[in-house]
Amino acid sequence: MQTNYAVSTKSIIPNTVLMVRPNAFRPNEQTAKDNSFQAPLDIVNANTSKISEDAKREFDDMVSTLRRNDINVEVFESEEKNTPDSVFPNNWLS
């Protein structure tokens, strides 16, 4: 007898995601020194305002896309201005 996995797994697929808006997004100079996932960036000369605005625009576009596709999005948002790592949900939930 064949099981219909599409029906049986549908109930475990989440319909809501948590996303953290990158209000203070910028490279973190403290972690960039020993984090191989961060590309080298001249913090002094970098246009961190543009980096932050680009990240916010991309974030808002993704939230809109998810919502248009009937996915609930819970948006967390930091009010702090010096928190480049606030975009990581583990920093909110731990």
- Provide the pLDDT for residue 51: 81
Helix (H) or strand (E) holding 19: strand 16-21
The 10 Å Cβ neighbour count of residue 27 is 18
Give the mean pLDDT of 10-14: 68
Residue 45 has what pLDDT? 62
Q: Which of 81, 87, 83, 89 is nearest to 22 (CA)?
A: 87
Kindly tell me the sign of the dihedral angle through the C-alpha atoms of 47, 58, 76, 86: negative
Query: Nearest CA to 66 among 4, 16, 28?
Result: 16
Cut 0.75: pTM above it: no
pLDDT tens digits along 15-72: 899 999 988 787 777 877 787 777 666 655 667 788 888 989 999 999 999 999 999 9
